[in-house]
Amino acid sequence: MSESVALVLPAKIGSGLLSIASQIGGVAMLLGQILARLNPRKIDRHELFRNLHRMGVRSVPIISATAAFTGGIMVIQAAPFVEQFQATGFIGWAATFTTFREIGPLLIGLIFNGRVGANNTAELGTMAVTDQIDALRALAIDPVAYLVVPRVLAMVSMMVCLCVIGDAVALGGAMLTADLLLDVSPQLFWSSAMERLEIWDFWVGLIKAFLFGLMIALMSCYYGLATRGGAPGVGRAVNASVVAAAAGIFIADYCSTFILD
Amino acid sequence: MIRLEGIHKQFKGPVLRDVSLDVPAGCIFALIGPGAAGKSVLFKIVAGLVEPDAGKVFVDEDEITALDALALNVVRRKIGYLFQNYALFDMTVAENIAFPLRRLFDLPEAEIQERVAERLERVALPGTQQRIPASMSGGQKKRVGVARATIARPPIVLYDEPTAGLDPVTSQKIYDLIREEQRSGDTTVMVISSDVSGVLTIADRVGMLHEGRLVFDGTADEARSSEIPVVRQFVHGLTEGPL
């Protein structure tokens, strides 16, 4: 019994590691294919604008709603300590700093992953299992150039834009909550933020948003195109894509926070 | 002309084993065989969508197994492909049919519209340009698929199970359409079909795959009178036999 466990366990670990290595390799190869096709004259503009609209513009309401509440929650959480130490003058800076650098891109990234990334994997996965990807290839149309490149460009650029919008709305929510809860006027909130905040704090958030957008785009396209096995396969691909992209976001966040600080 | 020489393909197990066959230009070649015999994989190999593990595939004078991606795309433009489950895109019927023309040819919009209307007339679906394929019946989707596969007037057309799941009348209409299309364009046609009696009515030649091997290659009459046990059982639909 113990002998079989001793054999099975390393085999399972080995096969798991091989599977992870194969997926990382697949994502890296897809990135290479995308970079090789980034010729502005050959990008399908119709597909690009269609994806910019459905992935970006249609995400604004949910991103805004979440960001507004998040800004408010940050102030609610900080309120007892701020009041205890009589540091209400710092609340504007604290909320802005954490929103720009961390909470904004991270939260928007996770919502974007759930809404746009999952949808993208499901769509490409359905196309894969119904032979539509093969149909494109049979029509001499490169699926990476036609389907993947416009989606990746749309997801990355919209993630950055949504981060800017989300940051602004979150600050609005924080400002309103600070006014109602701590009696910190919007003017005091704003001057507190502007006194201590650096432009680099804003850029750090945008760099993170770019990285998170790229992570979501690559994972969702890779798992979508690699889907096999009918409708259950699409479900598995969506699950794998969302989990892998979320893990990728946190790893990218950790590394970028370490490097950019 | 399509020629396959010693094609081997393996996924988890062997799918195709040493398959060689010739499909002369202007011929309707029916590929029959029980399920999981490797028929659809063979089609994908002919279209350059799947690479064989060994062997050579010639489409006209081009050995597609030796071509790079760009050159392969040039050969693919010669091939129309009707997929078993339609593979229609999530767009209107007209957009589906016009898709190859819009993507691959620099044609005026008026000509594209005209050719789409002509194709829809040809497949007996006039005036359905704005319909969404998801709202159509299986037979109608097949016919939209035929229209898309043939709109660019390719000299070779592959039909994978064009009548699967269709009633006998619609099936015969599809076969008649395939025959008419082949005659009007003098195209080379390969058809996979589980409806043996139906496909034999239009086939010039017949090949049968069984467990990845080509066990028969001959005319439709030769297939009907074959004494090879698996061929005899499959063509005549007998319950007793090796299958």
Interface test with B, best of A133, A137, A147 (most B CBs within 10 A): A137
* Per-residue pLDDT at B184 exceeds 60: yes
**Cβ neighbours of B44 in A, within 8 Å:** 134
Instruction: Return the number of other C-beta atoms located less than 10 Å from residue B78's C-beta.
Output: 17
Instruction: Supply the pTM of this predicted model.
Output: 0.87
The pLDDT confidence band at residue A215, using thresholds 50, 70 and 90, is very high
Instruction: Return the number of other C-beta atoms located less than 10 Å from residue A62's C-beta.
Output: 15
User: For B64-95, how does the pLDDT look when each residue is reduced to its tens digit (9 = 90+)?
Assistant: 989 988 899 999 999 999 998 889 999 999 99
Instruction: Return the number of other C-beta atoms located less than 10 Å from residue A160's C-beta.
Output: 20
The pLDDT confidence band at residue A2, using thresholds 50, 70 and 90, is low
What does the alpha-carbon distance between residue B150 and residue B97 come to, in Å, rounded to a whole number? 9
**Measured in whole angstroms, how far is the alpha carbon of residue A88 from the centre of its chain?**
32
Minimum mean pLDDT range among A187-191, B2-6, B168-172? B168-172
What does the alpha-carbon distance between residue B179 and residue B173 come to, in Å, rounded to a whole number? 10
* C-beta separation of A238 from A122 below 8 A: yes
Mean pLDDT of A215-240: 95
Interface check A36 vs B, CB under 8 A: no
* C-beta separation of A76 from A125 below 8 A: no
Minimum mean pLDDT range among A118-132, B16-30, B160-174? B160-174
Interface check A138 vs B, CB under 8 A: yes
Tell which residue, A165, A50, A39, has the closest CA to residue A104.
A165
Residue with tokens 């079909």: B193
Count how many pairs of residues, chain A against chain B, have C-beta atoms within 8 Å.
43
User: For B123-179, how does the pLDDT look when each residue is reduced to its tens digit (9 = 90+)?
Assistant: 889 999 999 999 998 888 988 998 999 999 899 999 999 888 778 888 888 888 889
Residue with tokens 């409806």: B195
Residues in CB range of A102: below 8 A, 6 or more apart? A205, A253, A257
| Distance to chain A for B81, nearest Cα, Å | 7
DSSP state at residue A117 = I
Query: What string of H, E and C letters represents the secondary structure of chain B?
Result: CEEEEEEEEECCCEEEEEEEEEECCCCEEEEECCCCCCHHHHHHHHCCCCCCCEEEEEECCEEHHHCCHHHHHHHHCCEEEEECCECCCCCCHHHHHHHHHHHHCCCCHHHHHHHHHHHHHHCCCCCCCCCCHHHCCHHHHHHHHHHHHHCCCCCEEEEECCCCCCCHHHHHHHHHHHHHHHHHHCCEEEEECCCHHHHHCCCCEEEEEECCEEEEEEEHHHHHCCCCHHHHHHHHCCCCCCC
Q: Do B73 and A132 touch (CB under 8 A)?
A: no
Q: Look up residue B31 and give its two tokens.
A: 């590929």
DSSP state at residue A113 = I
**Mean confidence (pLDDT) of chain B:** 91
User: For A54-98, how does the pLDDT look when each residue is reduced to its tens digit (9 = 90+)?
Assistant: 999 999 999 999 999 999 998 898 888 888 888 888 888 888 898
| Dihedral (CA of A113, A119, A124, A126) sign | positive
* Per-residue pLDDT at B215 exceeds 70: yes
Tell me the HSE value of B118 on the side-chain side, using a 13 A CA sphere. 12
Q: Look up residue A253 and give its two tokens.
A: 């966040």
* C-beta separation of A184 from A79 below 8 A: no
| Distance to chain A for B1, nearest Cα, Å | 18
Q: Do B74 and A140 touch (CB under 8 A)?
A: yes
**Chain B residue with minimum CA distance to A123:** B90
Three-state secondary structure call for residue A261: coil
The percent of residues in chain A predicted with pLDDT above 70, rounded, is 99
What does the alpha-carbon distance between residue A57 and residue A73 come to, in Å, rounded to a whole number? 25
User: For A143-181, how does the pLDDT look when each residue is reduced to its tens digit (9 = 90+)?
Assistant: 999 999 999 999 999 999 999 999 999 999 999 999 998
| Distance to chain B for A138, nearest Cα, Å | 6
Q: Do B100 and A130 touch (CB under 8 A)?
A: no
**Chain B residue with minimum CA distance to A130:** B87
pLDDT of residue A3: 64
What does the alpha-carbon distance between residue B66 and residue B101 come to, in Å, rounded to a whole number? 27
The percent of residues in chain B predicted with pLDDT above 70, rounded, is 100
pLDDT of residue A1: 54
Q: ipTM higher than 0.95? A: no
